[in-house]
Chain A
Amino acid sequence: MRILSITTSSEICGVCILEDEKIIIEKNLNNGLTHSETLMPLIKQTLNDANLTLSNIDLIAIDIGPGSFTGIRIGIATVKAFADSLNIPCVGINSLEGLSLNETNNGIICSLIDARRENVYCEIFENINGNYIVRRKPAFENINELLKEIKQINPEYNITFVGDGAIKNKEIILKILPNSSFACNNELFAHNFGILGYKNHNNEDYKNIEPLYLRKSEAEQKMEEKLNANK
């Protein structure tokens, strides 16, 4: 199966073509330009370099976030346009899951994507021989509260942190969870989304692919504060 995978939820605009789980060609650009300027030419160039056209693609795997709102929307809109006009099946993959594949050793992996103001998008996995099992669902969290929560469960945890949220919060992570380690690669790469797309696709309707924002809306947040105050 020939797969085209795309990531636009971070600063990197990435495109990869795979045959099943094997990378044929990959381009991950961080050129400071907006993804709206970069994505289409990059897809075209990647296909050209592989001597392929969109009609040779059997599946598109798209990064649905969390991350940059504008980036996510550009990626999803582009993919939906392809799916609509060329009838190519699509699969949406969350960015935290894509990130977790950067760490290949067995053990607990915590994906952290920076969400500013001491906030992160977070998901925790356990890698058992290449099977990444979700141990904590994707969520938007304050980094301090997240680390305290993990510490309460087990202060001796040996967790590998990955992502720009891991780099930014390294000091506090080591302070609260001293046994932590850090992944070498912390960026979102297009090929990870292709690999996950190959494993997870199930002929879902592309119309159902939606951005995963995770950040609570102002109304939800206010409601929560109210409920907490009444406790």
Chain B
Amino acid sequence: MKNLKLISNSPIETTKIAQALAKFLNIGDTVVLTGELGAGKTKFTEGFLTYYNLQDEISSPTFTIVNEYKSPLSTIYHFDVYRLADLDEFYAIGGDEYFDKGICLIEWGEQIEDALPLELIKISFEKNSEDDNSRILNFEAIGNKYEKILDSLSFELKN
């Protein structure tokens, strides 16, 4: 499937969704996380890292642009590109050289759209003005491989 819409009613539910996605991703896969401040992008990444037992090591990458988490299965690169001035800065730090080396999760990735892989998963997080603990997660798969991953994810979460 190309699109998958999931409702999360608590941070823990977001964690579970992220863990489920982690199961289907491999080295070379890219996930872009978009949504306003406090929408849950970092929370999702934390959840993703729990799949690899790396959750205790998370720190916000806000000041470093990219953090690296090593696990035997794959290295996870957690980007926050909010503070990058432009694409040139992304290339200058060798940003695009990470894509093949591990799994990349990129907060505010839409800001470097022209440097991203042509195929990826995009997740946009929407807050709910009525409920502080509720979020809508809109998954969009670009490319065949990622459409299959969304099929698997959707099946996994139903069971």
Contacts and interface: CB of A to CB of B under 8 A. Distances in A.
B96 A116 contact: yes
Nearest to A217: B88
A116 B99 CA distance: 10
Nearest to B94: A70
B117 A117 contact: yes
A215 B91 contact: yes
Chain A: interface size category:
10 to 19
B94 A69 contact: yes
Contacts of A218: 86-88
B105 to A, nearest CB: 18
Contacts of B73: none
Contacts of A70: 93-94, 97
Interface string A174-199: 00000000000000000000000000
Interface residues of B, number: 14
A196 B10 CA distance: 62
What DSSP secondary structure best describes chain A's contact surface? loop
B92 interface: yes
What DSSP secondary structure best describes chain B's contact surface? helix
A188 to B, nearest CB: 15
A118 interface: yes
B88 A68 contact: no
Contacts of B88: 217-219
Interface in B11-66: none
Nearest to A70: B94
Interface string B77-100: 000000000111001111011010
Given A116-B117, A117-B117, A117-B118, A69 B99 contact: no
A70 B95 CA distance: 9
A219 B86 CA distance: 10
A118 B118 contact: yes
Contacts of B99: 116
Contacts of A69: 91-92, 94, 97
Contacts of A215: 91
Nearest to A116: B96
B154 to A, nearest CB: 28
Contacts of A117: 114-115, 117-118
A68 B86 contact: no
Interface in B112-147: 114-115, 117-118
Contacts of B92: 69
B97 A68 contact: yes
A145 to B, nearest CB: 16
Most chain B beta-carbon neighbours within 10 Å: one of A118, A217, A218, A219: A218
A69 B87 CA distance: 13
B116 to A, nearest CB: 8
A17 to B, nearest CB: 28
23 contacts: A68-B94, A68-B97, A69-B91, A69-B92, A69-B94, A69-B97, A70-B93, A70-B94, A70-B97, A116-B96, A116-B99, A116-B117, A117-B114, A117-B115, A117-B117, A117-B118, A118-B118, A215-B91, A217-B88, A218-B86, A218-B87, A218-B88, A219-B88
Given A70-B93, A117-B115, 5 more contacts: A69-B91, A69-B97, A117-B114, A117-B118, A218-B86
